[in-house]
Structure 1
Amino acid sequence: MSYYLLALLLLPLVGSGIIFAWKGNNSKQAAFGIALLQMLLTFYMLVDFDFQPTVDSVLQYEINQPWSQFFKSSIHFGIDGMGMLLLLLTNILMPLIILSSFNEKINYSKSFYGLIILMQFGLIGVFTSLDGLLFYGFWEITLIPIWLIAGIWGQENKRLEFTTKFFVYTFVGSLFMLIGLIYVYNHSASFALIDLYNADLDITQQTIVFWAIFFAFAVKLPVFPFHTWQPDTYTYSPTQGTMLLSGIMLKMAIYGILRWLLPIAPDAIAGISGYIVIALCVIGILHGALIALIQTDIKRILTYSSFSHVGLMVAGIFASAMLVMKGTFTIEGAEGALVQTFAHGINVVGLFYCADILYKKFKSRDIRQMGGLASVAPKFAILFMILLFGSMAVPLTNGFIGEFILLKAIFDFNVWAAVFSGITIILCAAYLLRMYGKTMFNTGDKELLANIGDLSNVEFSVLASLAVFVLMLGIFPQPILDMVHSPLTFIYQSMLK
């Protein structure tokens, strides 16, 4: 069965090369076709996937081939429930992100779509690598395409400033992660994941490794105060770049914390480091929500909203980790984080696409210059509201169950942390409903509205597809919980080594 995973890895790599060499003018159709094949292959693999394996046999579709005796590293890939969830998110969103560009005129389109598919290759590698050196390699591969996408197709007068900051932040963070992984490798038998878990590190060494690796993940998420690259990068990147960054790329760090950080440095997490991370997350949750409340640029509202939501996910993961190290075995925080990871990916991609649609209709990102759109674009108003409800965690939408589990996990750890984190539910409703009211129901320019139509077929297809996931996962979240239970149990048990 391992050849399915091999195909999943090789198809976007070969496909990106084909697109770069494409001689016709339909590179976007080629990219969409490759992304669609990836999605169908992932669904096919899901059919044969064991949702409830034993804790000792969580890996499926495994590939393991030694390649360097000098580095004691292997070409080692495999999928467990957590990896499968992230593969599903990646390969569901990729064709929709590509489809969202079909109504646009993209300069250097072969390079644009080739980079998107190359990025898909890197993301799949990150979510399936079981070797530290391999994981780092794929982590870096994802940086290059998104940096080029943002730098070449981003807002012209801002490109140099925001892409330089983005590259410096992420490259330095990645360098710290590499140093941390090498340090662990020097105290273990090889770069294999399980050997890194079993590395012989004392509390001081674990603390050094923890902060080295966590810094890379904190930048990518981002976690307060490592977020200053995010607002400009999300705002001035092309829409598809913003969707890739917010919908999929930041999930690499959530995955990395669970897969690569917790079991390597459990004693560090049980100490002051864990408290510092949770405190930074709670500060970020409130900071992001309060800044979103006063923004008028619709992309910045969604950017700070995303920043706030990510803080809640990380706080939930560390709350459960600290409870485990203190003798209370629970994986609720991690389960809630992964449910919310999938939900957030769907919601934020949809909302940034809605922001792009609004920009094209009103020629502005300022919500004060919009209004009255519900009267002339009812389909858009309905789908926009469904995605908004998902982000607000309204019951029976995909955001509700994950946020509920996360707040419970944080409450079990510390009541006050849960209280401050829970305030964001109110703030989130305030800034998102304010945004919706000003764009949909505020008094608009009647002459402008008379020339604005509803959604095109492409726009409707993308938003309707995402809205289906919002509602479907809100009503049936249990498959995700079943999928991630065994791997998370294994990870948290590994912390007790």
Structure 2
Amino acid sequence: MSYLLLAFLLLPLVGSAVVFAWKNPASKFLALGFAFAQMFLTLFMLSELDFKPTVDGVLQYEINYPWSQFIRSNLHFGIDGMSMLMLLLTNVLTPLIILSSFNEKPGYRNTFYGLILLMQFGLVGIFTALDGLLFYIFWEITLIPIWLIAGIWGQENKKIQFTTRFFVYTFVGSLFMLVGLIYVYSNSASFALTDLYNAQLNASEQTVVFWFIFFAFAVKFPIFPFHSWQADTYTYSPTQGTMLLSGIMLKMAVYGLLRYLLPITPDPILGISGQIVLVLAIVGIVHGALIAIVQNDSKRILAYSSLSHVGLMVAGIIASAILTMKGVVSTQGGEGALIQSLAHGINIVGLFYCADILYKRFKTRDIRQMGGLAKVAPKFAIVFMILVLGSVGLPLTNGFVGEFILIKSVFDYNILAAVVAGLTLIFSAVYMFRFYGKAMFGEGDERVLASAEDLSGVEFSVLATLAGFVILFGVFPQPIIEMVSSSVRFIYAAMLN
């Protein structure tokens, strides 16, 4: 098992190095081959996992090798249900993101695809690391490739300005997290996750550490008011960069909040800190949705919709954590956030690709200058609508189950908070159907529509696959719930120890 996990960790890194070295236009096929190999390895490892509850959170694949006795840190990696869900999201979306670029001709192709695989390596490391120092190292590894992808292949003249803002925000947040982790480490036996959980911190120390580490996650989600970098970065990054940022990278913070922050610093959750985070999350839900409603740029609509959706994930996690600390053990928030992470990743990657397709057809991102595409692109109209329905949480789509569980978790804590958070269901329908209606219906420019084509083979392959996942996980959500439930119970139980 340990050798299999080692291969799983190293395959994207090896693939990245090979693609970097192979300066050939066909490097995209090589990158796609490595990405598919990683996906199939993920599915094989998934088939071997047993999600029955155990005291250690169902950790079945594990590597634990001492590499620095001086700083008491091990090369400790492992997989349980929660990390497997994130790995599944990462390694299924990565080949689709690579495939989505096949109709384009990015400069320095081998570098572009090598950076995507390097990004995949960092993400795999984050979702398998069981050592605080390793978690931080891989967190930083993911920052470099996405910054270069956004900065080099962005679509606007101001791309450097906005991607640099993203880099500064994220890097500063990472430094705060490092300081917080070092302080916990100084009061524990080692950087091992279990030792960090058992660190001897009083309530005041936990509060300081909580906000240091939470700041890094708040920027990455992002949640209000740490979101000012998001819309511009999503808008001016290349489509594949935006897919990586919105579909996978923000899930690093969801994972980190559950895996690290809550069990390490549980006491602040019961005090004013937990209340502040919950309020910020709910404000972000409404704030992001209201801004999305009045936006006319297709990518900015999706950027602010992502801000709104992630606010609900954070609200659910914190609401369940507060209830747990009060003695009413609740895991719904964590389960709902993980399920919604999968759904949101699928939906937002598909929707950003739809926005890219619209831009290529209409030569603009302004939805007021679109219209009528459904008449000439019926296949696109169908798959686009399925993704929209998933995003608004229609029953029997992947977005419904997670949103329902999250709202229920907030409801169990506070009815008024649940009512406000539940507005996301109404608001998301408003801005997504407005987006869809403006683009696909109406008169439209006949000259543009005359030359517009339906989906190419590549475009249809990517969108149809994602639309299939929207329906599959909406009709059959139980396997996903069973995958994460034991791990989430372990996390919330660790808060009480």
Query: Fold conserved (TM > 0.5)?
Result: yes
Q: Please tell me whether residue 423 in structure 1 is matched to residue 413 in structure 2.
A: no
Partner of 1:255: 255
SS class of match (2:85): helix
Q: Please tell me whether residue 312 in structure 1 is matched to residue 341 in structure 2.
A: no
- What is the CA deviation profile of residues 17-50 of structure 1, one whole-angstrom value per residue up to 9, with x for unaligned ones? 1111103221100100000000000001011111
Shift in Å at residue 51 of structure 1? 2.2
C-alpha separation between the residues in 2 aligned to 1:128 and 1:17? 21
Shift in Å at residue 224 of structure 1? 0.4
Q: Please tell me whether residue 478 in structure 1 is matched to residue 478 in structure 2.
A: yes
Q: Please tell me whether residue 279 in structure 1 is matched to residue 276 in structure 2.
A: no
Given that 1:305 and 1:428 are in contact with CA atoms closer than 8 Å, whether structure 2 keeps it comes out as yes
SS class of match (1:52): coil
Q: Which runs of 4+ in 1 moved over 3 A?
A: none
- What is the CA deviation profile of residues 409-453 of structure 1, one whole-angstrom value per residue up to 9, with x for unaligned ones? 000001111011111211110110011111011210112111111
- What is the CA deviation profile of residues 145-187 of structure 1, one whole-angstrom value per residue up to 9, with x for unaligned ones? 0000000001241122101100110000000000000000000
Q: Please tell me whether residue 143 in structure 1 is matched to residue 137 in structure 2.
A: no
5 Å matches for 1:53-132? 53-56=53-56, 58-132=58-132
SS class of match (1:74): strand
Given that 2:10 and 2:121 are in contact with CA atoms closer than 8 Å, whether structure 1 keeps it comes out as yes
5 Å matches for 1:212-231? 212-231=212-231
C-alpha separation between the residues in 2 aligned to 1:423 and 1:57? 34
Given that 1:55 and 1:486 are in contact with CA atoms closer than 8 Å, whether structure 2 keeps it comes out as no
Partner of 1:245: 245
SS class of match (1:64): strand
- What is the CA deviation profile of residues 38-95 of structure 1, one whole-angstrom value per residue up to 9, with x for unaligned ones? 0000001011111224233511110000011110000000000000000000000000
Given that 1:335 and 1:481 are in contact with CA atoms closer than 8 Å, whether structure 2 keeps it comes out as yes
Letter in 1 for 2:101: S
Partner of 1:327: 327
C-alpha separation between the residues in 2 aligned to 1:442 and 1:193? 56
C-alpha separation between the residues in 2 aligned to 1:426 and 1:42? 36
- What is the CA deviation profile of residues 447-479 of structure 1, one whole-angstrom value per residue up to 9, with x for unaligned ones? 211111100000000000001100000000011
Given that 2:371 and 2:439 are in contact with CA atoms closer than 8 Å, whether structure 1 keeps it comes out as yes
Given that 2:57 and 2:487 are in contact with CA atoms closer than 8 Å, whether structure 1 keeps it comes out as no
Partner of 2:352: 352
Partner of 1:288: 288
SS class of match (2:56): helix
C-alpha separation between the residues in 1 aligned to 2:496 and 2:324? 8
Partner of 1:337: 337
Letter in 2 for 1:475: V
5 Å matches for 1:395-406? 395-406=395-406
Partner of 1:495: 495
Letter in 1 for 2:314: V
SS class of match (1:354): helix
5 Å matches for 1:381-400? 381-400=381-400
C-alpha separation between the residues in 2 aligned to 1:5 and 1:209? 31
Q: Please tell me whether residue 41 in structure 1 is matched to residue 41 in structure 2.
A: yes
Given that 1:319 and 1:409 are in contact with CA atoms closer than 8 Å, whether structure 2 keeps it comes out as yes
Kindly tell me the number of residue pairs found equivalent between the two proteins: 497
- What is the CA deviation profile of residues 242-298 of structure 1, one whole-angstrom value per residue up to 9, with x for unaligned ones? 000000000000000000000000001111100000000000000000000000000
Given that 2:282 and 2:311 are in contact with CA atoms closer than 8 Å, whether structure 1 keeps it comes out as yes
- What is the CA deviation profile of residues 395-414 of structure 1, one whole-angstrom value per residue up to 9, with x for unaligned ones? 00000000000000000001
Question: What is the aligned-residue RMSD (CA, Å)?
Answer: 0.7
C-alpha separation between the residues in 2 aligned to 1:490 and 1:447? 59
C-alpha separation between the residues in 2 aligned to 1:260 and 1:157? 39
C-alpha separation between the residues in 2 aligned to 1:95 and 1:375? 30
Given that 2:38 and 2:91 are in contact with CA atoms closer than 8 Å, whether structure 1 keeps it comes out as yes
Q: Please tell me whether residue 203 in structure 1 is matched to residue 203 in structure 2.
A: yes
C-alpha separation between the residues in 1 aligned to 2:99 and 2:56? 40
Given that 2:90 and 2:248 are in contact with CA atoms closer than 8 Å, whether structure 1 keeps it comes out as yes
Q: Please tell me whether residue 152 in structure 1 is matched to residue 152 in structure 2.
A: yes
C-alpha spacing 1:148/1:35, structure 2 compared with 1 (3 Å):
same
Partner of 1:264: 264
Letter in 2 for 1:307: L
C-alpha separation between the residues in 2 aligned to 1:278 and 1:459? 39
Given that 1:332 and 1:409 are in contact with CA atoms closer than 8 Å, whether structure 2 keeps it comes out as yes
C-alpha separation between the residues in 1 aligned to 2:114 and 2:251? 22
Given that 1:293 and 1:301 are in contact with CA atoms closer than 8 Å, whether structure 2 keeps it comes out as yes
Gaps of 5+ in 1: none
Deviates most, 436-445 or 357-366: 436-445
SS class of match (2:61): strand
Gaps of 5+ in 2: none
Partner of 2:369: 369
Letter in 1 for 2:133: L
SS class of match (1:442): coil
C-alpha separation between the residues in 2 aligned to 1:268 and 1:447? 60
Given that 2:224 and 2:284 are in contact with CA atoms closer than 8 Å, whether structure 1 keeps it comes out as yes
- What is the CA deviation profile of residues 82-132 of structure 1, one whole-angstrom value per residue up to 9, with x for unaligned ones? 000000000000000000000001101111000000000000000000000
Q: Please tell me whether residue 169 in structure 1 is matched to residue 206 in structure 2.
A: no
Letter in 1 for 2:281: C
Given that 1:55 and 1:489 are in contact with CA atoms closer than 8 Å, whether structure 2 keeps it comes out as no
Partner of 1:133: 133
Given that 2:24 and 2:110 are in contact with CA atoms closer than 8 Å, whether structure 1 keeps it comes out as no
C-alpha separation between the residues in 2 aligned to 1:277 and 1:26? 47
Deviates most, 94-103 or 6-15: 6-15
SS class of match (2:157): helix
SS class of match (1:317): helix
Partner of 1:302: 302
C-alpha separation between the residues in 1 aligned to 2:446 and 2:56? 64
SS class of match (2:78): strand
C-alpha separation between the residues in 1 aligned to 2:72 and 2:255? 24
C-alpha separation between the residues in 2 aligned to 1:460 and 1:38? 22
Letter in 2 for 1:254: V
Shift in Å at residue 315 of structure 1? 0.4
C-alpha separation between the residues in 2 aligned to 1:254 and 1:24? 37
Letter in 1 for 2:199: A
Deviates most, 353-362 or 441-450: 441-450
SS class of match (1:364): coil
Given that 1:55 and 1:487 are in contact with CA atoms closer than 8 Å, whether structure 2 keeps it comes out as no
